[in-house]
Amino acid sequence: MSNYVHDQWIEGTGTGIVLYDPIQGTALASADATGLDLNAAYGWARQTGGPALRSMGYSARAAMLGRIVDVLQVNKEKYYDIALSNSGTVKSDSAIDIDGGIYTLSWYAKAGAKLNSQAFLTDGEAVPLARDNAFATQHIQVPIQGLALLINAFNFPSWGLWEKAAPALLSGVPIVVKPATSTALLTYEMIRDVVEAKILPPGAISLICGRPEGLLDALNGLDIVSFTGSADTAATLRSHPRIMHDGAKLNAETDSINSAILGPDADPASIQLLVREVVRELTIKSGQKCTAIRRIFVPESTYDTIAQSLALSLAKVTVGDPRKDGIRMGSLVNLAQQKAVRAGVATLEKHADILFDGRRQLTIDAPADSACFPPVLFGVRQPDEHPLVHDVEVFGPVATLIPYRDIDHAWQLARRGMGSLVASVYSEDTALLAQAAFALGDSHGRVHLVTDAVSRIHTGHGNVMPQSNHGGPGRAGGGEELGGLRALRFYHRLVAVQSAPEVLKHLAG
């Protein structure tokens, strides 16, 4: 895979990092960014891509996003083949990444078409600062004149790219894309198709594959970084001089220990909804989602019943090579990730009961040396005495069933995740569900409330929709993404303009 900088495809000068098929173990491609002049590449993006994008206006940039959607739709089957070979995902899981990314782009194309064609966005009304309104202030949102460095995780090479790129490009900000190396092939092919279609102006998009030297060193204090990945990597980014000292803005979305909570009313319909969603979240992308359910809170009286129901459902999951018929769950992204999941399971085994062990109860229909790993369900009957279940996240098909005494105890336990991306609550008690929004809102970026009435139409615990905020406080990174047009705020600077009313009126015009 080549790198795309200065509007040229440039190969690295090193040996490169090989990408493998996680099922068959075959080499697919290599990525290398050795020898790239990132100072020059970033300068080109700022000085060429930025002015070209900002000259277009919001509605014109929205139309540009729409043309990207058309290109991606035409090539969709190719992307599915890449996802299968590079990520080991079944087709329905690939769709969440590929179609989800395209849908997000399409949503921003339509939403952006309704914006004006000005160079900035107004923020509220003008406010008087002097008697008789002789002097006033107007806040505006101005697109940054730096670049946006988009650092993405391995689990969503399509959606992770476009959910950041869409609001950035719509805002008029050039992007430099750094995908996770292990699954970069899908990102590479999508960007290559868009570049060849000549949709974007020169300098609007750059792609860096592999592990370059000085990725952050080449930034300046007026650039921004949008990151998805581990909390440890986010901490490393925050400590970099460009961010810590120079003030480059960072948005971090990191993994979290998300919760699913069954309400105290716990009728059969709510139990069925909870069980179905937990099994979905354990198996979709083999549990490799930052929003996946990691802790399942249920009333003490239902613990054994739900443990049995979950075990029966998980026993029906077919794990293996997605190329084979009937396979419901594919592999982890690579052998390194499989090793990490094994280590996490070994840690939890010392502190929790195993309620379902796919390693012993399921047959994996794939080569013995593949990166497949079956679901494992843990349980702890005394959650207040087991801090590890609230602290250790296994980034794979692993979750823990936890009983609670009363609903206040459930809220308290959920908050022990110290900041999560999402919590879902299953109940027919509308007052309880409304309470959940306030009880969990300060520690979760999204609260997903499910009743039987929405059982067939709700978007799912783990699905991130462009209309809703994605992010969370504390452990989840403290960032915000999407949320409709709110996403544009990260790519703008808030400016207070103070002047005579006639000047502000001219500015608005």
Catalogue the active-site residues.
253, 290
* DSSP run (H or E) holding 356: strand 353-357
Closest CA to 92 of 422, 322, 333, 396: 322
> Residue 222 has which token pair?
């007026």
Q: Which residues contact 175 (CB under 8 A, 6 or more apart)?
A: 45, 147, 148, 149, 150, 164, 165, 168, 169, 204, 205, 206
Q: Which of 67, 96, 247, 43 is nearest to 170 (CA)?
A: 67
* H/E stretch holding 399: strand 398-404
The residue type of 500 is A
SS3 417: coil
Sign of the CA dihedral with 244 first, then 248, 251, and 252 last:
negative
Task: Report which DSSP code applies to 465.
Answer: P
Q: Please count the CA atoms within 13 angstroms of the CA of 450 that sit on its side-chain side.
A: 27
The burial class, CB within 10 Å (0-12 / 13-18 / 19+), for 390 is: buried
Distance CA 77, CA 344 (A): 35
CA 440 to chain centroid, in Å, comes to 20
Widest Cα–Cα separation across the chain: 80
CA-to-CA distance for 109 and 165, rounded, in angstroms? 12
- Burial classification of residue 453, based on how many CB atoms lie within 10 Å of its CB (0-12 exposed, 13-18 middle, 19 or more buried): exposed
**Hey, how many other C-beta atoms are within 10 angstroms of the C-beta on 457?**
6
Give dist(CA 134, CA 385) in Å, integer: 64
Question: If you write DSSP's letter for every residue of 72-87 in order, what string do you get?
Answer: HHHTHHHHHHHHHHHH
